[in-house]
Amino acid sequence: MGIDIGIIGGSGFYSLIENAEEVEMTTEYGHPSDKVSIGTINGKSIAFIPRHGKKHTYPPHKVPYKANIEALSKLGVKRIITTVAVGSLKEEYAPGDFVFIDQFVNMTWGRDDTFFHSNPVIHISPADPYCSELRALASSESKNLNIKHHDNGTVVVVNGPRFSTRAESKFFKNQGFDIINMTQYPEVALAKEKGICYLGIGIVTDYDAGLENKDIKPVNATDVLKVFEKNVSTAKNLITELISKVPENKSCNCSKALEEATGTPK
Ligand SMILES: [Zn+2]
């Protein structure tokens, strides 16, 4: 029997896990961000990895994404629930809102973003990279819990660790992207390659380069942390409820991602 659900998020989520045991893991891609905390939530077996390490040692461009996903995959995890701080590019995505991300645009560079560097040659289609079943479940549970949320959102993922210039932020806004973040890629794409369902819960912490018409100043790291921490308990409630509602069998197509991915391009 494998572990039911993997969680990747901030270290505030340690306290969610009952009977937690910390396990040192290693993979052919190196060590995960930290020891993997294994235990239960609402009777389901859970493996938790703090994305940036317990002591926040890994900046976004140095997170061992492949080792994290490989470790969860090795444990038999079939679904991954994650939380991320996101900046808003649209006024209606306000600080404190939750966003169930459905699309990403990758603007990162130099990150190892595939498990398939040689045979077999794999061309995964991430047309719909996020799990539709988990997103729908997250939306309905948020309604029940009265959490202000958005059923979908396109995240542009930038390399970091710096934030955007006003010009970059304006460019992203003009593209119609909703939110901005530094860690969703390649995490979600790697999960897809493993056929693991992936839910990205974005917690809006700021308005990126600000809102000039409302005199809202550009983001800074202290404020991001403050707003994120303020919403961790809400995220914990949501995840706890979500986990109890996750059905035994999947109704989504996430596990089939690899079936159509092998072959030689024309
Ligand atoms: Zn799925």
Residue in the block written with tokens 């937690």: 20
pLDDT at 208: 83
Which of 102, 206, 215, 223 is the catalytic position?
Answer: 206
* Catalytic residue flag (residue 112): no
Q: Quick check: helix, strand or coil at residue 219?
A: coil
**Distance from residue 245's CA to the centre of ligand 1 (Å):** 14
Per-residue pLDDT averaged across 5-15, rounded?
90
Contact 17, 236 (CB under 8 A): no
Residues facing 228 on adjacent strands: none
**Distance from residue 191's CA to the centre of ligand 1 (Å):** 10
Q: What is the DSSP letter of 217?
A: P
Which of 4, 97, 178, 208 is the catalytic position?
Answer: 208
pLDDT at 263: 58
* Catalytic residue flag (residue 34): no
Alpha helices in the chain (DSSP H): 65-74, 132-145, 166-174, 184-193, 221-245
**Distance from residue 102's CA to the centre of ligand 1 (Å):** 12
pLDDT in tens, 176-227: 999 999 999 999 999 999 999 999 999 999 988 777 777 788 888 888 888 8
**Distance from residue 95's CA to the centre of ligand 1 (Å):** 28
Contact 98, 142 (CB under 8 A): yes
pTM over 0.85: yes
**Distance from residue 242's CA to the centre of ligand 1 (Å):** 14
Residue in the block written with tokens 């047309």: 127
Measured from the Cβ of residue 176, the count of other Cβ atoms closer than 10 Å reads: 11
Going along the chain from its start, the domains and CATH numbers come out as 5-258 (3.40.50.1580)
pLDDT in tens, 124-170: 777 899 999 999 999 999 999 999 999 999 999 999 999 999 999 99
pLDDT at 217: 83
